[in-house]
């Protein structure tokens, strides 16, 4: 590393970059880790960037991947900057000591956004707090939506995931020059970023590259290929083109994004529907990542920190007033949740018995949250006792109805609760003590592999970050999650009168619900 009057200079595998000192932290933004994925590289695996001579300025965030904006209802709560330009495969580094002798632990961050939105430029993900605490923080942009996760007969699957793999390889090769230890990389993501991190954990190509992993509100999973194909085919039908990468590459980029947004408008974690996702491809994803991790074939010895927010579903249901619509639909909404979760009637009955004062929307939301998140993460922890740590974020937002919703914990993890973009979701008054406790737990895990509470075992310890000091609860979700393993399946039981919904009525209700929301996983 060298420095001049304008900032630190570090040599990367493709050329030198000049960052900035910001409050004692060296910050490098917009470093290309792969070539712009357009022209002949569109819908193709990432390629190395063209090396450059001299010193490249790394003072500003690089271009973000093409993406549609959030709907007005969601933009009220979530920020998603758009930075134009083709060189969107870039990353950022925050480091306290940009010198190879430092050998500091590394956190590599994968943002959420349902694989259709988000970027490393979201202010909530600012990495200075990690750097101040001795962690080199790296955040990554990757291709999104149809550009990154479309499934075509004439192009390889999962280019967005392949981008992330290329970034991980770049970090492993280059991070020592920024003060990081390539043997202590923690891969961390939230929502779609956590799903991506789980897929990379299970990828044969990453073995030996990842020391630890953090999965926030997203389990390892592979999407059904037909579900992804339906998204592509619906877009092709609207555009009146063949469902091929060649045909999609010829469409105006803005038209492609607006078509993607319109086709994906009816998809959500609660309602299901076609959506973009990581698919088994026989290469980076040779089989379902969840199965591979459960079997112990993948990522042996990798320590895991994983968890959820208490009221994940609130971010999916509150914007646009869907929460009230679900409550009004009552039994029809419950039947829809059963279909969404492939659950028998014993499951909603069990939730009613455990939570007699809960409304329909809460029952539906918690059922879907458990089905999508808590059940798989519990199962994953069960197969890795002693090296897994589980948390629940339970502090309620200061904004009406959101409670402890999806993505609310991010400002606490990054120590960015004071930025306006965090307050869009948390409101005012987020307690500093809780911010410090949660951020410190992540720093401890990245540094030592132990976040500060006991590892998962038969007692099922879950660290609760809520009102007051954090504490450990034992088996706090066991009663609900047991319903998924002991209750009969939908095909094994007859419908009960209180949950009966005729097929036509149910189908119409689900269509009404889908029309009323643009909700997606963040």
Contact 65, 33 (CB under 8 A): no
Contact 150, 232 (CB under 8 A): yes
Tokens for 247, please give them.
């045909």
CA angle centred on 145, ends 76 and 322, rounded to 5°: 40
CA-CA distance, 317 to 323, in Å (whole number)? 5
Burial annotation 319-348 (CB, 10 A radius, 16+ → b, else e): bbebbebbbebbbbbbbbbbebbebbbbbb
Beta-carbon count within 10 A of 486 CB: 10
Burial class (CB within 10 angstroms; exposed 0-12, middle 13-18, buried 19+) of 349: middle
312 included as an active-site residue: yes
- Collect all residues with Cβ–Cβ distance below 8 Å to 459 and sequence separation of at least 6: 474, 475
> Residue 183: what are its φ and ψ, rounded to 5°?
-90, 0
CA angle centred on 379, ends 376 and 383, rounded to 5°: 140
Beta-carbon count within 10 A of 399 CB: 19
Q: Could you tell me which of 56, 71, 53, 58 has the C-alpha nearest to residue 26?
A: 58
Marked catalytic residue, from 120, 128, 139, 191: 191
428 included as an active-site residue: no
> Residue 352: what are its φ and ψ, rounded to 5°?
-60, -40
Contact 129, 419 (CB under 8 A): no
Q: Could you tell me which of 310, 289, 256 has the C-alpha nearest to residue 66?
A: 256
Contact 65, 143 (CB under 8 A): yes
Contact 344, 492 (CB under 8 A): yes
Task: Give DSSP secondary structure letters for 238-255.
Answer: HHTS-SSHHHHHTS-HHH
Burial annotation 451-461 (CB, 10 A radius, 16+ → b, else e): bbbebbeeebb
Marked catalytic residue, from 119, 406, 421, 422: 406
Marked catalytic residue, from 312, 392, 409, 421: 312
CA-CA distance, 74 to 491, in Å (whole number)? 37
Q: Catalytic positions, please? A: 191, 312, 406
């Amino acid at each position: 590393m060298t420095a001049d009057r304008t900032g630190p200079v570090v040599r990367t595998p493709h050329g030198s970059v000049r960052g900035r000192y910001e409050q004692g932290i060296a910050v490098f933004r917009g470093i290309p880790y792969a070539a712009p994925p357009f022209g002949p590289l569109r819908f193709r695996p990432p390629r190395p960037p063209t090396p450059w001579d001299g010193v490249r300025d790394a003072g500003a965030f690089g271009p973000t991947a093409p993406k549609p904006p959030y709907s007005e209802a969601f933009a009220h709560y979530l920020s998603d900057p758009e930075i134009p330009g083709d060189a969107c495969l870039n990353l950022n580094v925050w480091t306290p000591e940009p010198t190879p002798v430092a050998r500091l632990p590394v956190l590599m961050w994968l943002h959420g956004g349902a694989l259709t939105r988000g970027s490393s430029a979201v202010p909530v993900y600012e990495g200075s707090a990690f750097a101040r605490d001795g962690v080199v923080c790296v955040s990554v942009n990757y291709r999104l939506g149809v550009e990154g996760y479309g499934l075509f007969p004439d192009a390889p699957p999962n280019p967005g995931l392949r981008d992330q793999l290329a970034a991980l390889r770049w970090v492993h090769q280059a991070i020592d020059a920024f003060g990081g230890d390539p043997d202590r990389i923690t891969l961390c993501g939230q929502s779609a970023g956590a799903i991506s991190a789980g897929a990379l954990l299970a990828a044969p190509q990453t073995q030996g590259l990842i020391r630890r992993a953090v999965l926030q509100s997203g389990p390892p999973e592979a999407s059904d290929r037909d579900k992804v194909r339906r998204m592509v085919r619906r877009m092709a039908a609207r555009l009146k083109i063949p469902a091929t990468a060649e045909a999609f590459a010829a469409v105006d980029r803005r038209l492609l994004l607006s078509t993607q947004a319109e086709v994906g408008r009816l998809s959500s974690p609660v309602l299901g529907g076609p959506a973009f996702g990581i698919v088994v491809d026989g290469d980076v994803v040779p089989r379902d990542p969840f199965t591979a991790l459960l079997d112990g074939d993948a990522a042996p010895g990798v320590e895991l920190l994983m968890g959820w927010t208490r009221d994940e579903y609130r971010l999916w249901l509150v914007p646009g007033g869907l929460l009230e619509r679900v409550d009004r639909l009552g039994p029809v909404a419950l039947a829809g949740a059963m279909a969404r979760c492939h659950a028998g009637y014993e499951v909603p009955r069990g939730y009613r018995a455990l939570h007699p004062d809960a409304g329909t929307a809460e029952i539906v939301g918690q059922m879907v949250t458990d089905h999508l998140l808590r059940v798989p993460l519990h199962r994953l922890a069960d197969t890795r006792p002693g090296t897994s740590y589980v948390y629940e974020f339970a502090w309620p937002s200061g904004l009406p109805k959101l409670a402890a919703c999806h993505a609310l914990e991010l400002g606490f993890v990054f120590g960015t609760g004071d930025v306006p973009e965090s307050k869009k979701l948390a409101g005012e008054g987020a307690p500093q003590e809780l911010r410090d406790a949660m951020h410190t737990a992540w720093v401890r895990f990245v540094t030592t592999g132990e976040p500060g509470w006991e590892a998962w075992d038969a007692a099922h310890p879950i660290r609760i970050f809520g009102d007051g000091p954090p504490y450990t609860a034992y088996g706090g979700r066991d009663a609900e999650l047991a319903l998924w393993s002991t209750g009969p399946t939908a095909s094994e039981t007859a419908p009960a009168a209180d949950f009966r919904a005729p097929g036509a009525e149910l189908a119409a209700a689900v269509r009404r619900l889908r029309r009323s929301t643009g909700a997606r996983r963040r």
